[in-house]
Structure 1
Amino acid sequence: MSESEITKLDIIVEVLGEREPEIRRLVTLDDRIRTFAESGDENGQRMPIELIAEWAMLLDKYYPLALEKRNSLN
């Protein structure tokens, strides 16, 4: 992904901010998943599926809300 691409998480943080504990958790999970993916999995370690599921659930919860609020502001 190029640096100019805007992700769903970018939109969530831009529109809703990081005050909500669940949004802070989403940002933390995103960082952990990204770091893990970039590390290469040389030792056969796997990212726990529960963390990925929680990340996906939070993204699915907050992205529609962020889009709705973003569209209402424009």
Structure 2
Amino acid sequence: MSESEITKLDIIVEVLGEREPEIRRLVTLDDRIRTFAESGDENGQRMPIELIAEWAMLLDKYYPLALEKRNSLD
């Protein structure tokens, strides 16, 4: 992914902000997942699937809301 590519998380944070505890949790989980993926530690500790599932659930919950709000602002 290029540095200029906008992600779903970027849109969520831009439109909805980070005041909601669940959105802050989503940002934290995203950071942890990226850090883990970039570490490339194939023999070390594994990322718990529960964290990835929580990240995906929160992303699926807030992305449509952010898109709807963003489209209504245009």
Asked whether the two chains share a fold, i.e. TM above 0.5, the reply is: yes
Q: Aligned-residue CA RMSD in angstroms?
A: 0.8
- Give deviations 1:3-43, integer Å, cap 9, x for gaps: 11000000000000000000000000000000000001243
Identity of aligned residues (%): 99
Instruction: Report the alpha carbon displacement of residue 45 of structure 1 after superposing the two structures with TM.
Output: 1.7
How far apart, CA to CA, are the structure 1 residues paired with 2:70 and 2:26? 19
Query: Runs of 4 or more off by more than 6 Å in structure 1?
Result: none
Q: Which runs of 5+ in 2 are unaligned?
A: none
Greater Cα shift, 16-25 or 41-50: 41-50
Aligned length: 74
- Structure-1-length-normalised TM-score: 0.97
